[in-house]
Amino acid sequence: MKVIGITGSPREKSNTEYYVQYTLDKIKEHGIETELITLRDKKIHHCTGCYGCITAKECTLEKDDFEEVFNKMLEADGILVGSPVYNSSSTAIVKALLDRAGFLGRWINNDMKDKSENYQWKGTAFSGKVAAPITVARRAGQNFTFAELALWMTVNDLIVIGSHYWNVGVAGKGGAVDAEEDLEGASIMDHLADNMAHVIKQLKK
């Protein structure tokens, strides 16, 4: 059993990284392997809608760090995706990763149909995995960003894990790196970790 945490903040040792690592550490206490993946040092080009992956069953863009992260997503049983809120949205590199992962993940298991034909989807490369969004903001914009990540997870056939509140952290006023002061946020991540570990173990029975 393994859970990966993907963080999309461009800042080193960011508030987002703190919340995701905190959750991973709690999941690890349940005997599940974890790994943190930071995107700030990755080069991931945005999806160009070339449709090359439909026949190739792999991304046909010029090689960058996408394939490395995508393969780790495929190998994991659980995926945390964390992003700070930028103008009520996730960061550009998170969007680039998820756009390409979602498109490729769908066409790995399916073939394009003619316009007159109906789809009988065979699931996606992520079907049966569990996932959870974690968003971080100084004050507002959480709902849009959280929904953006959760919508990606549901349309790609993942099982979305919640907590006793939305999986959000409140930190960064004045640019501060102070997530450890958000005690309510820690409580949310504690329960999220318990829920994710429980569901993964149930699915692995």
Q: Find the CATH number of the domain harbouring 55.
A: 3.40.50.360
Count up the domains in the chain and report the number. 1
pLDDT at 164: 98
pLDDT at 116: 85
pLDDT in tens, 97-146: 999 999 999 999 888 888 888 888 889 999 999 999 999 999 989 999 99
pLDDT in tens, 43-80: 999 999 999 999 999 999 999 999 999 999 999 999 99
pTM, 2 dp: 0.95
Tell whether 99 is covered by a domain: yes
Q: Tell me which residue range forms the domain holding 185.
A: 2-111+122-203
Residue 48 identity (one-letter amino acid): T
Tell whether 116 is covered by a domain: no
